[in-house]
Amino acid sequence: MILVTGGAGFIGSNFVIDWFAHSDEPVINLDKLTYAGNLHTLVSLSGDARHVFVQGDIDDRELVSRLLAEHQPRAVINFAAESHVDRSIHGPGEFIQTNIVGTFNLLESVRAYWNALPADDKEAFRFLHISTDEVYGTLSLEGAPFAETHAYKPNSPYSASKAASDHLVRAWHHTYGLPVLTTNCSNNYGPYHFPEKLIPLMILNALAGKALPIYGDGQQIRDWLYVKDHCSAIRRVLEVGMLGDTYNIGGWNEKTNLEVVQTICVLLDELEPRADGNSYVEQICFIQDRPGHDRRYAIDARKLERELGWKPAETFESGVRKTVEWYLANPDWVGNVASGTYRDWIQTQYGA
């Protein structure tokens, strides 16, 4: 079996659901259930003996060591993190705690477990760390997309904390021989995406008749990847990735934020037209920019394509259509996440 951390969040839950579409190998899913974790997302797995959910912290060595000893996983995939740049600007402490200290404690628990494994299991074991392209910092418009050799220059508390965690993972391989793999992925989107992030926030605000708040001039560029393509890349890296290597994962879909929001508006105009017949584009507004806002991210995913034979299945156009359709078809999930502390966050970030 495998142990997944953060499997009740956006990418982790998609990964677990997708895993069982391809395999019957059981998954232990360890998640702290912060505001970003949601068991409602995993409801399709309730009663499924292949899935064991445990609420807990990657920082908790006693708990993690017990889970490892009890379930003897052949791999650990670490999705658990604080993941939202804007929240990291308002309060970086949790990011340092989970993304750096938490990863350190997880590595130490895993190292002790791995050291005690019989030789064959020890050789087969993998620790796969899920990271982000944001560790590389920002690109100019003319700059070549981030390859694995690009220098780390993180600019936000979030990206700095993820960069630190990547360095820890690398060092645990180099120093202790822990069999690690690291992936650095571009911006994901798709089902179960918490509506604090650009794409789901815009879909839900549009439908609620609210403003669509674009930071600054909306010309920042992100490289978008449909979440299921990220999941297939992770499975591939786990299967055949070279020990100690890092792999950049991206969709070759560079878009400005304004283009992304306009695309969502056009799709909603088609799929759920406004009662007054006008376009959702009318709801777009420009607000104060994010401090330290990175201008452009772009991923060069050729290593993963060349060495491991992976390619994304979705274009941005096909993936974003699926995503909008999913949000329209799942009002219960939306109602469940968009309550309570979510409202407090929206007030803190956009209230003024």
Residues labelled catalytic: 133-134, 158
Considering CB distances under 5 to 8 angstroms, the limit depending on partner class, which of ligand NAD, ligand TYD, none binds residue 298?
none
Binding pattern for the stretch 54-93 against ligand TYD, x by CB under 6 A and - elsewhere: -------------------------------x--------
Considering CB distances under 5 to 8 angstroms, the limit depending on partner class, which of ligand TYD, ligand NAD, none binds residue 312?
none
Structure-token pair, residue 27: 């998954």
Residue nearest ligand NAD, CB atom distance: 9
User: Which residues 6+ apart lie within 8 Å of 193 measured at CB?
Assistant: 10, 199, 200, 227, 323
Question: Binding of ligand NAD at residue 59 (CB under 6 A)?
Answer: yes
Least Å from the CB of residue 85 to ligand TYD: 4
Least Å from the CB of residue 102 to ligand NAD: 5
What DSSP state is assigned to residue 135? G
Strands 2-5 and 27-31: parallel
* Cα(133)–Cα(101) distance, integer angstroms: 21
Question: According to the 3-state scheme, what is the secondary structure of 234-257?
Answer: HHHHHHHCCCCCEEEECCCCEEEH
Tell how far CA 22 is from the center of its chain. 20
Considering CB distances under 5 to 8 angstroms, the limit depending on partner class, which of ligand NAD, ligand TYD, none binds residue 34?
ligand NAD
Question: Binding of ligand TYD at residue 215 (CB under 6 A)?
Answer: yes
Output the CA–CA distances (angstroms, integers) from residue 10 to 72, 188, 192, 243, 298, in the order listed.
26, 9, 6, 26, 21
Q: How far apart are the first and last CA of the chain?
A: 48
Considering CB distances under 5 to 8 angstroms, the limit depending on partner class, which of ligand NAD, ligand TYD, none binds residue 185?
ligand NAD
Structure-token pair, residue 236: 């591939």
Question: Binding of ligand TYD at residue 198 (CB under 6 A)?
Answer: yes
Residues that bind ligand TYD (CB under 6 A): 85, 187, 197-198, 201, 213-215, 220, 222, 257, 290
By CB under 6 A, name the binding residues for ligand NAD.
Answer: 5-6, 8-12, 30-34, 36-37, 57-59, 79-81, 83, 98, 102, 130-132, 162, 185, 187-188, 194
